[in-house]
Structures are given as structure tokens and as C-alpha cells.
């Protein structure tokens, strides 16, 4: 039994060393081709929509580390079996490791936008992993022979040396891989020109006077991040191009500088993810800098048949946007800046799309490299293939930020506060209901335009006991937030947020 455990450990250690080697080689080629990440990404793409929604609801943005952890755990189980088998028949055990590598190589090569070169990290994993297993099993069997012959010798130490050296090697390769990724061109090296059409001065939000309410502008580092990626693209600006093709008079290929040379608009726009539950965190407000979408489309000259802009990212991931909505006069843009700086890699460096009023999955393509004017009949985007809606305007919604659900607060003078959004229409009113009583009109914070969320608060004389608080928003056009409960799939959640608080 002890022997088995030891060999299971050998299998796991060998696999770890192999993974670390693959990760290091991938950091030089393309981080996404790292065996663990490639398998993880394939799992994401193959996961049925309901399961994915469940994972997002259950784990939030921790879903990615959990997925990577699960892939590693699965690999560890197989690696342990491989290690045990390798004790008696080395190549049988090694073939289990090799099977894992073949799966990883296939995942890396079959990713959209990948090529044969993306199999190299898996190859490095195979060589290192099998080599490590060979070293460990040979050191151990040498030690076994010594025990049998009762001759004291250095081989037991040999096992320790092999184990220690391999563990250190795995950690070192992991560290170097991280360093290499960090060395790549940084968005903070990019200086952006000023907007030709700047946004008005940004008003001071309510958050200082009414603590607990989400800050009026979401700090970039706190901005929610939702995408299908496990590693960030390493796209730089020197070799960046944006292609506009499909049903256009003239196909365009623009460099990053070409985009900066055009007129730039600056707008305050609130993004929202379709996966945001009522009361959820996947919404944030930022100041975006970019080229007006219609300026670009006019340059290319859109033909008569297109009804969809199919955006493609650096890796071939696609996002669809309804052409008529994006060009109806709203401030849709191809953004290069966020909150006064270049886009961070997490949020689409160097270039992304932002369309006020549409959920991110049908508009906000990050790491954008191509816009194809086409039709929904002809081409389907990533989420369209997964049965999500194609026309997905953001639903009017409101959220209570303070007090928190199930919070215990002191009785007396206090306030209820939060945010509300109805992009492209603007918030007209926010109403709060305490214990099912009359809808009371909340005070609104300053406005940064119809595409931006609005903070709100309602002074409240809190009496001891348990209370139910409910919020709803009304747009400037008088459209009332829908009370009908809906799940995020397929076109966004609806219903009123209701929380319970205890007043002491």
C-alpha cells in the first residue's frame, strides 16, 4: 500500500513537472496553448449553457480558478493511476500520462485561431513528464533492490534528490513562465491622444456622502470581468490590425495608429453582463475613449444586405451585434481607452467594442481584430450557437447596495441606497417599498447621461424588527422595471430585488 502511494505520488509529481514545462513553453508561444489552459478552454466551449449558467451563479468570477483546479484534479487522479502502473510496467504507466498529453495537444490545436505550433507546449509536457516519471521510478527501484540485498547505499537518497529536484524545477518553471508573460508590452506604455469630442466633466457621486453605494465611476481595477478566456491575449499594438470586411464597398485594414488618428469620442457608459442576476455585481460604469462605430462603417461603406456585425477577437472568438441597433444614433464605439488610460488586458487591450444599451455578449467584443458585415442567416457567433438571444437590449434594473441583505443595522435615522440603470433610455425614477407598503420615490444622484447608471438613496427611519426592502426603477420614458422574474438565459434577468434586513 505504501509503495502504491509512493508511486501514485511519482505520477502526480511527474505530471506537475510536465505541466509546468508546458506552461513555460506556452508563455513563449501563446499562453492559451498551455496544456491545462487549453483543456480548460475546451471544457468551457463544450459546456452546455445551463451548466455554465449554474457555474456562474454558483461561483461567480471564481468559476475560472475552480475550472482550472478541476482540470488539474482530474489530471492528478489519472496521473496517480499512471504512477501506480509504472511501478511494474513503466510504459503502461507512462502511456496514461501520454494520453493526457494527447488530449491537451488536441485541445490546444483545435482552439479557434490556433495552429500546429500550439502543440509544442504539450510536446514539452510529454517529454518532461515521462522523463520525470522515468527518473523517479528508476531511483525507487534502485532503492528497492538495496533493501532486498540489505546493502546500505545511496539510492534511497537518490529518490529524495529526484523528488526534491523535480519539485523545485516545477516551481521554478512556473515562476519563469509568469515572468515571461509579465515582460510583454504593457498597456501602460501606450499614450492616447485627447478626445476630439470629450465627455462633460464627471459629476461627483453619492458614495462619499452615502457610504455603501457603489461608486459612481467603477475603478478599473474593480470593474467586473466576464469572458470565456483562461489566459489573457498577449496582442501588442505594433502588429495590431483591425479589419472591416464582408458586405462593404471597400475592405479596410487599420493599424492601432490609424484608429488613434481618427476623431475620438469620449463617453460615460455603463456595461452590463447578461449573466447578471437581479441585484448582481456584473455591471459597472466607466469613461470610454474610442472611434465612433459609424465613422468606421462609413469609411468602409456598408452594403445593403448586412444585418449583423460579426466581431472576431484575436483568437477567433466571435460576438454578434445587430447592425441597425448599433447604428441608430447611439454612441457605439470602437474603444481604445478606459477611465483615462489604455484598455487593460482584462478589458480588451488594445481595442474593443462598446455599444450603450446592449448586453456585453452581443456588443462588447474585447481584443477585437475583425468586424464582418454579414447576416444572421449566414454566420453565427459563439453565443448564438449556444442559443442565447441575438437582439439583447439591457433591461431596466435597480440594485440595493446598502443595507446588505440580512445585515443587522441600528434603529433610527439611516438610508437605503444603490444604483439603477436603463442604458440608452436613462433612469427617470427609482422607487423603494418597505414591508410591502407604498412605493416611495428615492432621491437620485447626479446624471452622467442616459447611457450611464444612476445612484439613488432613500432616507429611512428604521424601526426595530425585521424588514423587507424592494426596489424598482422607471426609465425617463416612463417604462417601469418588469416585476416578472426571469433567469439570465437567454436575454437577461428581470424581476425586483428584495432583501431582508434586521434592525436592532
Ligand X SMILES: Nc1nc2c(c(=O)[nH]1)N[C@H]1C(S)=C(S)[C@@H](COP(=O)(O)O)O[C@H]1N2
DSSP 386-431: TT--SS-BPPPEEEEEESPTT-EE-SEEEEEEEEEE-TTT-EEEEE
Residue from 37, 139, 213, 365 touching ligand X (CB under 6 A): that is 365
Q: Which does 225 bind (CB under 5 to 8 A by kind): ligand X, Mo ion, none?
A: ligand X
Nearest approach, Cβ of 236 to ligand X (angstroms)?
17
Cell of residue 64, nine digits = 475560472
Residue 432 has a CB neighbour count (10 Å cut-off) of 23
Q: Which stretch binds ligand X (CB under 6 A): 111-119, 129-137, 356-364, 464-472?
A: 356-364
Closer of 113 and 174 to ligand X (Cβ) = 113
273 binds ligand X (CB under 6 A): yes
Closer of 367 and 496 to ligand X (Cβ) = 367
228 binds ligand X (CB under 6 A): yes
Residue 332 has a CB neighbour count (10 Å cut-off) of 27
Q: Which stretch binds ligand X (CB under 6 A): 35-43, 63-71, 298-306, 365-373?
A: 365-373
271 binds ligand X (CB under 6 A): yes
Closer of 359 and 456 to ligand X (Cβ) = 359
Going by their DSSP bridges, the two strands 408-409 and 443-444 should be labelled as: unpaired
What residues contact residue 402 under an 8 Å CB cut-off, 6+ apart? Answer: 210, 211, 212, 213, 415, 416, 417, 418
Longest dimension (CA), the chain: 90
> Residue 430 and residue 200: Cα distance in Å, rounded?
24
Going by the DSSP 8-state scheme, the letter that residue 187 receives in this structure is: G
Q: Which does 365 bind (CB under 5 to 8 A by kind): ligand X, Mo ion, none?
A: ligand X
Residue with cell 432613500: 458
Q: Which does 289 bind (CB under 5 to 8 A by kind): Mo ion, ligand X, none?
A: none
Cell of residue 371, nine digits = 468586424
Residue with cell 475550472: 67
Nearest approach, Cβ of 337 to ligand X (angstroms)?
13
Residue from 7, 10, 216, 223 touching ligand X (CB under 6 A): that is 223
Nearest approach, Cβ of 357 to ligand X (angstroms)?
13
Residue from 317, 396, 448, 458 touching ligand X (CB under 6 A): that is 317
Closer of 158 and 360 to Mo ion (Cβ) = 360
Contacts with ligand X by CB under 6 A lie at 223-228, 271, 273, 313, 317, 319, 347, 360-361, 364-367
Amino acid at each position: 500500500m505504501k509503495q502504491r502511494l509512493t508511486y501514485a505520488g511519482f505520477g502526480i509529481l511527474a505530471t506537475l513537472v510536465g505541466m509546468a514545462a508546458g506552461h513555460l513553453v506556452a508563455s513563449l508561444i501563446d499562453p492559451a496553448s498551455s496544456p491545462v489552459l487549453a483543456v480548460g478552454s475546451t471544457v468551457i466551449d463544450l459546456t452546455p449553457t445551463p451548466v455554465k449558467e449554474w457555474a456562474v451563479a454558483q461561483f461567480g468570477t471564481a468559476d475560472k480558478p475552480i475550472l482550472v483546479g478541476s482540470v488539474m484534479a482530474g489530471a492528478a487522479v489519472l496521473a496517480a493511476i499512471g504512477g501506480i502502473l509504472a511501478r511494474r510496467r513503466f510504459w503502461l504507466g507512462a502511456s496514461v500520462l501520454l494520453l493526457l498529453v494527447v488530449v491537451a495537444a488536441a485541445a490546444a490545436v483545435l482552439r479557434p485561431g490556433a495552429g500546429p505550433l500550439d502543440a509544442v507546449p504539450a510536446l514539452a509536457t510529454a517529454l518532461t513528464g515521462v522523463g520525470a516519471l522515468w527518473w523517479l521510478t528508476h531511483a525507487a527501484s534502485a532503492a528497492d533492490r538495496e533493501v532486498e540485498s540489505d546493502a546500505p547505499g545511496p539510492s534511497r537518497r537518490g529518490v529524495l534528490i529526484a523528488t526534491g529536484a523535480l519539485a523545485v524545477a516545477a516551481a521554478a518553471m512556473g515562476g519563469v513562465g509568469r515572468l515571461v508573460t509579465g515582460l510583454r508590452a504593457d498597456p501602460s506604455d501606450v499614450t492616447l491622444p485627447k478626445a476630439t469630442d470629450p465627455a462633460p466633466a464627471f459629476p461627483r457621486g453619492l458614495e462619499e456622502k452615502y457610504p455603501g453605494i457603489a461608486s459612481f465611476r467603477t475603478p478599473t481595477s474593480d470593474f467586473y470581468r466576464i469572458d470565456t478566456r483562461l489566459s489573457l491575449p498577449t496582442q501588442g499594438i505594433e502588429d495590431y490590425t483591425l479589419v472591416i470586411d464582408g458586405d462593404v464597398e471597400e475592405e479596410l485594414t487599420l493599424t492601432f495608429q490609424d484608429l488613434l488618428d481618427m476623431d475620438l469620442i469620449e463617453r460615460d457608459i455603463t456595461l452590463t453582463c447578461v449573466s447578471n442576476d437581479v441585484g448582481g455585481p456584473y455591471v459597472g460604469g466607466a469613461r470610454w475613449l474610442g472611434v465612433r462605430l459609424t465613422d468606421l462603417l462609413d469609411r468602409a461603406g456598408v452594403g445593403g444586405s448586412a444585418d449583423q456585425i460579426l466581431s472576431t477577437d484575436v483568437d477567433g472568438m466571435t460576438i454578434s451585434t445587430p447592425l441597425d441597433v448599433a447604428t441608430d444614433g447611439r454612441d457605439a464605439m470602437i474603444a481604445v481607452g478606459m477611465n483615462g488610460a489604455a484598455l487593460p488586458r482584462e478589458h480588451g487591450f488594445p481595442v474593443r467594442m462598446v455599444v450603450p444599451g446592449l448586453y456585453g455578449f452581443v456588443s462588447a467584443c474585447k481584443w477585437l481584430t475583425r468586424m464582418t458585415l454579414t447576416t444572421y442567416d449566414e454566420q453565427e457567433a459563439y453565443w448564438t450557437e449556444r442559443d442565447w438571444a441575438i437582439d439583447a437590449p439591457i433591461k431596466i434594473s435597480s440594485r440595493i447596495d446598502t443595507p446588505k441583505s440580512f445585515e443587522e443595522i441600528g434603529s433610527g435615522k439611516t438610508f437605503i441606497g444603490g444604483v439603477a440603470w436603463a442604458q440608452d433610455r436613462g433612469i427617470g425614477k427609482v422607487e423603494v417599498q418597505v414591508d410591502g407598503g407604498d412605493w416611495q420615490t428615492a432621491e437620485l444622484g447626479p446624471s452622467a447621461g442616459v447611457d450611464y447608471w444612476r445612484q439613488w438613496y432613500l432616507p429611512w427611519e428604521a424601526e426595530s424588527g425585521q424588514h423587507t426592502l424592494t426596489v424598482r426603477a422607471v426609465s425617463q420614458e416612463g417604462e417601469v422595471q418588469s416585476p416578472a422574474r426571469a433567469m439570465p438565459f437567454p436575454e437577461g434577468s428581470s424581476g425586483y430585488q428584495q432583501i431582508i434586513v434586521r434592525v436592532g
